[in-house]
């Protein structure tokens, strides 16, 4: 799908990539095979963003709650993440996409952090777009960490409480430097945000599909963008004819 003058393309799309495990179980496969298939979907979606001129894409790849999964599954997911980073570095370079990561990155295995640092360093100067992976990410923990950082500054006498406003608070979130998402997509049909970008997505448009993430196609992504283009964003105000 090519961008048309009539199409109002979001600047920032955030996606809750849900349904990998169910996709695998429906086919009698181990859950990790669903995650592998989902990694290929990431490649398709990143390419579609490039084609449509979407500047920012944020993917909910691993939540803080996901640490509660079986140790073997977490190990497989971390290895898959390292493989993904290695395989897609060339694509990121070709498309001039910068890689970014948000979350409690220090909780990831050392070999994953090394791969992340390498790819982020090699793509740091890319200007065409930004791919952000939310890894070991939880929005509540992010908000608490921001509040704690501000409290420390107040206690140290570096900041007056009355100086704290929304802009200053946002400057202490993991997503500092990123615009708020315009569109949040969730696959697998679940109707919840699951602790994803709760502050940042306050006025984002929501689009939910029953399609499981490995089956999420370029065509369905394009349909989501077309639906977004038809919506009117009022941000609490009124639209006058």
CATH of the domain at 199: 3.40.1180.10
Instruction: Give the CA dihedral 75, 80, 86, 91, nearest 10 degrees.
Output: -150
- Asked, for residue 168, whether it belongs to a domain, the answer is no
Question: 18, 20, 76, 95: which is the annotated catalytic residue?
Answer: 18
95 part of the active site = no
Q: Does residue 1 fall inside a structural domain?
A: no
Domain count, the chain: 1
Q: Please report, for residues 51, 70, 110, 126, 189, the alpha-carbon distance to residue 213 in angstroms, rounded to integers and kept in the order given.
A: 20, 21, 28, 27, 10
Give the pLDDT of the chain (241 residues) as one tens digit per residue: 444 557 899 999 999 999 999 999 999 999 999 999 999 999 999 999 999 999 999 999 999 999 999 999 999 999 999 999 999 999 999 999 999 999 999 999 999 999 999 999 999 999 999 999 999 999 999 999 999 999 999 999 999 999 999 999 999 999 999 999 999 999 999 999 999 999 999 999 999 999 999 999 999 999 999 999 999 877 666 554 4
Residue 83 placed within a domain? yes
- What kind and span of H or E run contains 144? helix 139-155
Clarify whether 125 is annotated catalytic. Answer: no
Is 220 domain-assigned?
yes
Q: What is the pLDDT of residue 238?
A: 57
Q: Is residue 37 part of a domain?
A: yes
Residues 187/18, Cβ–Cβ less than 8 Å: yes
With respect to residue 158, please indicate whether it lies within any of the assigned structural domains.
no
pTM for the full model?
0.93
Looking at residue 101, its pLDDT comes to: 98
Question: Tokens representing 129?
Answer: 């777009």
Q: What whole-number distance in Å separates Cα of residue 146 and Cα of residue 112? A: 25
Which of the following is catalytic: 51, 66, 91, 195? 66
> Any alpha helices (H) in 27-70, and if so which ranges?
31-52
- pLDDT, residue 129, reads 97
Q: How many residues does the chain have?
A: 241
């Amino acid at each position: 799908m090519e961008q048309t003058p009539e199409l109002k393309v979001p600047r920032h799309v955030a996606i809750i990539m849900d349904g990998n495990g169910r996709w695998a179980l429906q086919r009698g496969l181990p859950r990790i095979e669903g995650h592998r298939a989902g990694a290929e979907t990431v490649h398709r979606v990143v390419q579609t963003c490039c084609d449509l001129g979407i500047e920012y894409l944020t993917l909910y790849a691993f939540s803080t709650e996901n640490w509660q999964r079986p140790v073997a599954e977490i190990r497989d997911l971390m290895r898959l993440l390292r493989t993904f980073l290695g395989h897609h570095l060339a694509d990121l370079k070709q498309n001039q996409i910068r890689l970014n990561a948000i979350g409690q990155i220090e909780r990831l295995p050392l070999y994953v952090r090394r791969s992340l640092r390498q790819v982020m360093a090699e793509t740091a100067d890319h200007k065409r777009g930004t791919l952000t992976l939310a890894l070991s990410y939880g929005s509540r923990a992010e908000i608490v960490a921001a509040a704690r950082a501000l409290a420390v500054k107040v206690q140290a006498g570096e900041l007056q409480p009355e100086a704290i406003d929304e802009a200053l608070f946002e400057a202490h979130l993991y997503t500092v430097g990123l615009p708020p998402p315009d569109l949040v997509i969730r696959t697998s049909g679940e109707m919840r945000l699951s602790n994803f970008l709760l502050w940042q997505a306050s006025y984002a448009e929501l689009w939910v599909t029953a399609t499981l993430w490995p089956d999420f196609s370029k065509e369905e992504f394009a349909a989501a963008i077309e639906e977004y283009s038809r919506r009117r964003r009022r941000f609490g105000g009124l639209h006058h004819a």
